[in-house]
Amino acid sequence: MRRNLPHPRYTVALVSDEPIVITGLRSVLVDCADIEFSANSAESLVNQLLCSKAEKPLALIIDLPLEFMGSRNDSRFIQRIQQSAPGIMLVILTNETHALTLRRFKMLGIRALLSKKDDLVHCLPKALAACLQGVFFTSPLIRQHMDPAGIAFDSNQQSSSLTSRELEVIRLYARGMRVKEIASLLKRSVCTVAVHKHNAMQKLAITSNMQLLHYVQSQDRFAEIPGY
């Protein structure tokens, strides 16, 4: 029986080291998505993304092993995909339970985080619908792990220690200005602006410029900075 879905069919790419996972995902998505390809390694995945000519919205569902998420390789892997296919909607399946790791993935620009222990038959179509609407989606168990105290996670708490100048610098940077251009605009030295940017990234536990861009773009409060 086909599901009545409020969104168009997707083109979905799958990646997992376990064939049984890809088989299971295909069965869940059979009524709401077109499976473009599947892959079982980062290299083959990136190559297929570069060759893909999908005309429909493209969602990429990645089954990340627990040991992979615990390393910095996960960030580099995600960044490679984003560079290979800008605008792709990334959905992560994981057994990860560490709140900081899950929050870091949200900052990387992941569109949805789902626990493998949740009911994917119900959660996965909802996650895809949320992706198309530009809404970050988490499955029930992921929400519990990200927010064990039952209090909604406010990413603005992470930026509460930033100075007004640091906020200003990273917002201008996220708008496409180079450090030299920001220095000229603010009438500060390039070194000073670079230090502000570095300090802000340290406080936010951000390790790359791409993460910084995603973070600033997700923070409505930065739009309140006067004069810009």
Residue 169: the pLDDT is 92
129 in the same domain as 92: yes
Which residues, at least 6 apart from 116, have a Cβ–Cβ distance to it below 8 Å?
A: 63, 93, 94, 95
Contact 74, 68 (CB under 8 A): yes
Residue 189: the pLDDT is 92
In a domain, 4, yes or no: no
DSSP state letter for 156: G
Which of 112, 146, 180 lies at the terminal end of a domain, its last residue?
146
Which residues, at least 6 apart from 182, have a Cβ–Cβ distance to it below 8 Å?
A: 169, 172, 173, 193
Q: Structural domain tally of the chain?
A: 2
Residue 149: the pLDDT is 45
In a domain, 5, yes or no: no
pTM here is 0.59
Residue 91: the pLDDT is 92
Query: Using CA of residue 11, residue 110, residue 97, residue 45, what is the dihedral sign?
Result: positive
Residue 68: the pLDDT is 53
If we measure between CA atoms, which residue out of 131, 102, 100 comes closest to residue 115?
A: 102
136 in the same domain as 205: no
For the chain, residues with pLDDT lower than 70 are 1-9, 41-43, 50, 52-57, 65-73, 147-160, 218-228
Residue 183: the pLDDT is 92
Per-residue model confidence as pLDDT tens digits over 71-126: 556 777 777 777 777 778 889 998 877 777 777 777 778 889 999 889 998 898 88
Residue 175: the pLDDT is 82
The pair of structure tokens assigned to 154 is 């406010």
